[in-house]
Amino acid sequence: MPRGLDHIVHAVRDLDAAAAFYASAGFTVGARNRHPWGTHNRIVQFPGFFIELITVGEPGLIPMPPQGSFSFGGFTRDFLARGEGLSMLVLEGKGAAGDVAAFHQAGIGHLDQFDFERDAKRPDGSTVKVGFSLAFATDPKAPDIGYFTCQQHYPENFWNPAFQIHSNGVAGIAGVTMVADRPADHAAFFRAFCGVSDVTSNPNGIAVRTPRGEIGVMDSTAYRRQFAVKPPNLADGARLAAIRLSLRNKAALISALGKGGIAPVEHLGNVIIPSDIGHGATLIFEQP
């Protein structure tokens, strides 16, 4: 079963500073949420997809995970010790148990299903419950990237059209870009993780079309040529580098960035915020 993009995790050292950056770029940013394992997050939401800004807010709460389980707190702590940036790529899950079995059969999954709930705040201040079941996958050639699917149990409490309106004119997700020394080496993993049979080659690397957004993998030279920004350091393996966002109105974006004091790069028709401004993540704004 093909799985579309659900969200991407952006690990940052100062959650409020990163939220202020996104707000300055014209995004609507949600309130701070707390997890029992020591991480805090804030959400930037679009139709069917969101960016999760995450930090270690309470390091003393990070547990030692049982054998066969994943530690969000530990993974985020260790990732941030190396620097800020895009740390996890998440696909929509229709059934976590089925995804766990599929990933195990494909040889890309060895962790148990993870279930959790937390309280969330509506715009009117009322509290509602959100819940998730997660199934994890692993690509040994990309040890700095976390992969999982996310099945929502109370989607009506999570998705909110009021949070999906952004003054910068962004309509939603176009895709994400990963940089790797040998892009084709990741094709088999993404076939299994995304549940698709077709991974296409192109002059930049490979591309995976999902039901919601595209995953592109390119080498450092192609990344610099395509986006005119510095690629990430690949010393420890492949890295998630960029979020590609679809624009309704380029003029609204330029106005929002000007008001926010952000100077973007324009290249090949795209407006780009480089990673040295974007807390380790490159933001690419595209017009259809």
Domain range summary for the chain, segments of one domain joined by +: 5-163, 168-286
Q: Give the pLDDT confidence of 67-113 residue by residue, as tens digits.
A: 778 899 999 999 999 999 999 999 999 899 999 999 999 999 989 99
How high is the pLDDT of residue 123?
64
CA–CA dist 253, 191 (Å, integer): 34
CA–CA dist 180, 186 (Å, integer): 9
pTM of the predicted structure, to 2 decimals: 0.95
How high is the pLDDT of residue 57?
96
Q: Give the pLDDT confidence of 116-158 residue by residue, as tens digits.
A: 888 776 667 778 888 999 999 999 999 999 999 999 999 998 9
Q: Give the pLDDT confidence of 148-193 residue by residue, as tens digits.
A: 999 999 999 899 999 999 999 999 999 999 999 999 999 999 999 9
- Mean pLDDT score of the chain: 94
For domain 168-286, say whether CATH 3.40.462.10 is its number.
no
Report CA Rg, the chain.
18
Q: Residue 89's beta-bridge partner residues?
A: 8, 147
Whether 5-163 and 168-286 share one fold: the answer is yes
Cα separations (Å) of 186 from 176, 217, 233?
A: 15, 8, 17
Report the CATH superfamily, name and number, of domain 5-163: 2,3-Dihydroxybiphenyl 1,2-Dioxygenase, domain 1 (3.10.180.10)
How high is the pLDDT of residue 126?
77
What's the mean pLDDT in 214-236?
Answer: 97
Helix or strand or coil: residue 209?
Answer: strand
